A = this chain, B = another copy of it.
Amino acid sequence: MSQDDQIMSISAAELKQYIERAENLEEEKATILEHIKEVFAEAKARGFDVKVMKQLMKIRKMKKEDLVLQEELLELYRRALNEG
């Protein structure tokens, strides 16, 4: 086996590691997506309107992100005052 071959097979093995890690994570993601679907299906079966639920979640998410933005803004102000 030449040195190049060794390097190649090391690279290939390393590449394989990365790809498999990514693929495993993709599978986990798929599982999560399944679970999310199940939650909505269950809620629907209990008579809730899934569309409305998703809308609610969007709004809640925006509010959260908004809070984060506000906090970042406060932090900026703080720094500006300390450095000013």
Contacts and interface: CB of A to CB of B under 8 A. Distances in A.
B53 A39 contact: no
A55 interface: yes
Interface of A: 11, 14-15, 18-19, 21-23, 25-26, 28-29, 32-33, 35-36, 39-40, 42-43, 46, 48-49, 51-53, 55-63, 65-66, 69-70, 72-73, 76-77, 80
- How many identical subunits does the complex contain? 4
A76 B52 contact: yes
Contacts of A76: 49, 51-52, 55
A51 B65 CA distance: 18
A12 B23 CA distance: 39
